[in-house]
Amino acid sequence: MKKKSLVFAVGLATALALSGCAAGGAEPNESAAAPEPGAALTIAKPDGAITTESNNPWVGDSSANKLGYKNVVFEPLAIVNPTGDNETTPWLAEKVEWNDDYTQLTITPRAGVTWNDGEEFTADDIVFTFELIRSTPAFDTGNIQLTDITKDGDNVVLSFGESKFVKQAQVLNIQMVPEHIWAEVEDPTTFTNENPVGTGPYVLESFSSQSVTMTARDDYWGGEPAVPTLYYVSYNDNTALTTALASGEADWAQAFISDIENQYLSKDENNIFWPANVMAPDVLFLNTQEKPFDDVAFRKAVNMVIDREAHTTIARENAGPELTSVTGLPTPVGEQYIAPEYQGVEFEIDVEGAKGILEDAGYTWEGDALIDPDGEPVEFTLQVPQGWNDYVTGISLIADQVTSTLGADAKVDTPDVDTWTQNKRAGTFDAIMHWTDSGTTPYDLYSDTMDGRWLKAGELVDYNFGRYDNPEVTELLNTYANASSDEERTAAIEQVQKAFVEDVPVIPVGTHPILAEFNTRNYVGWPSDEDPYAPGDPLQVAAVQVLMNLEPAE
């Protein structure tokens, strides 16, 4: 097999903007090269040299985690798809079955699976992995609240302290480790795992600060992968990564590419950009405890003058569809969860309607300047970190729109990321642009933005940054998460949506898709809008599913 040349990274990482970019426009150049049988795939990141090897899948800053190659060595029981139809695909489990209230999971292990050292994968490995999580709090990043682990014949039964309906992925996506290796580890939190043993289709061949080489197993339970070799490479920065992707030196990445049409897509007809639509919009978190956003009338008025089409085309450069539903749910992925009264109800710019709401609430104007009911000029500041180009553009557009239509003095501030993070957690802001978590239900969107339980953490919070406090909504979210029937869940989430629309605790601005760049030069079968079987991000647990779906191009 011919190994393609690589340009290796040698510098420090630069901050990767939480951004998206556009596809569409100019016609791409035709690729002159024919498919190369047995070609390797180079999977790239823009984070600079990875100097220390660690293949511990549980440690966040291990090289296996940072580069993503843990996902082709260690496999989960099942893979939960955050896009498409949100289906669950059994993987190391032949079958997974929840009880009615999702407090108990029965797992049937897949037969015929072996670890890459030849040992058999069994139910004991599942039990061991979950016992390891339960006994090592640092590994329980999903707070799964596991209360009991038992074997029932050939099956494994897991019991939980609360319903896992809204957090199924946190359980099912956990990657298994072998008992016969890890049982001898004295401290699993510091274990570097130099010779990683997993059930996945690839094994570690070599590691250096420039690249990691993975080779396909010939005894993988799922069959022989189409791609025989994977190179994981960390380039110096986004510019170097973009150049590598555009030229075909790198094949697969999740990255921000400015002016993606000219910088990447037009360079080769095989270059593909796919933003996977998930239930995770970008929103403006509003400080509901301070002027001016403590007034629901003002929140409603601002919500009515934001140009979401401009945000999609200018700030996000058409990376994903426009956010249209007043429920904040991106469509079509969230369509099934929209309450009947909001089906087809979309955001519209309505400046006169917004002014009418303000007038009814006691606002006036002095010239073009908006004056609040206390006789004070209305002003506020929008914050996002410097360098987050799409977010900076997004809040600049919003500031201009609100100032020109309503007369409020809207300013833009771009502090460093550490200052911004502290401000958002402490609530020392007027408004910030921020993402929401993506799940397979609407729960994450509404909990992240409205759930009073976040506020119990104290002065610093990890979501509900605007400190919206509505005990009824908090209880409804709890009902949704713990209900034992679809009817109960539906009733609860419809009431939550009504509060979201009428109270405007946050302002939904745009979709926040999972980005992926890849090429079809040598392999086809990648996920797409037509076949969204998984997100295309190589850092996600579903990377193994994507690789096993690839076939040689003809």
Packed helices 351-360 and 296-305: angle between N→C axes, nearest 10 degrees: 170
Least confident residue range of 21-35, 282-296, 424-438: 21-35
pLDDT (tens digit, 9 = 90+) per residue, 451-491?
Answer: 999 998 889 999 999 999 999 999 999 999 999 899 999 99
pLDDT at 404: 98
Can you list the domains of the chain with their CATH numbers? Answer: 38-73+200-277+514-553 (3.40.190.10), 75-188 (3.90.76.10), 281-511 (3.10.105.10)
In sequence order, the β-bridge partners of residue 158 are: 105, 149
pLDDT (tens digit, 9 = 90+) per residue, 230-253?
Answer: 999 999 888 999 999 999 999 999
What's the token pair of residue 38? 């047995």
Distance, CA of 537 to CA of 544 (rounded, Å): 11
Lookup result for tokens 């682990």? 149
Q: What are the start-end ranges of the H helices in 53-121?
A: 63-67
pLDDT at 395: 98
Distance, CA of 428 to CA of 466 (rounded, Å): 9
Tell me the torsion sign for CA atoms 315, 320, 322, 327.
negative
pLDDT (tens digit, 9 = 90+) per residue, 259-300?
Answer: 899 999 999 999 999 999 999 999 999 999 999 999 999 999
pLDDT at 48: 86
Determine if the peptide bond prior to 385 is cis (ω within 30°): no
Distance, CA of 73 to CA of 215 (rounded, Å): 10
Distance, CA of 21 to CA of 390 (rounded, Å): 9
Burial 286-323 (b: 16+ CB within 10 A, else e): bbbeeebbebebbbbbbbbbbbbebbbebbbbbbbbbb
Residues found in the chain: 554
Average pLDDT, integer, range 315-332 = 93
Q: What distances in angstroms separate CA 406 from CA 175, 411, 550, one per listed residue? A: 51, 14, 52
Distance, CA of 176 to CA of 258 (rounded, Å): 37
Least confident residue range of 26-35, 108-117, 252-261, 512-521: 26-35
Q: Kindly state the helix (H) or strand (E) to which residue 212 belongs, with its residue range.
A: strand 211-216
- What letter does residue 257 receive in the DSSP assignment? -
Q: What are the start-end ranges of the H helices in 80-200?
A: 123-135, 168-172, 179-182
Distance, CA of 259 to CA of 380 (rounded, Å): 31
pLDDT band at 3 (very low <50, low <70, confident <90, very high): very low
- What letter does residue 346 receive in the DSSP assignment? B
Distance, CA of 523 to CA of 553 (rounded, Å): 5
Determine if the peptide bond prior to 332 is cis (ω within 30°): yes
pLDDT at 432: 98
Q: What is the CA radius of gyration of the chain?
A: 25
Contact 405, 411 (CB under 8 A): no
In sequence order, the β-bridge partners of residue 45 are: 234
Contact 146, 134 (CB under 8 A): yes
Tell me the torsion sign for CA atoms 424, 425, 430, 433.
positive
Q: What distances in angstroms separate CA 484 from CA 81, 82, 102, 165, 472, one per listed residue? A: 22, 22, 8, 9, 20
Contacts of 398 (CB under 8 A, 6+ apart): 284, 306, 311, 382, 410, 509
Distance, CA of 419 to CA of 421 (rounded, Å): 5
Backbone angles phi, psi at 531, to 5 degrees: -140, 75
Question: What pTM was estimated for this model as a whole?
Answer: 0.86
pLDDT at 49: 85
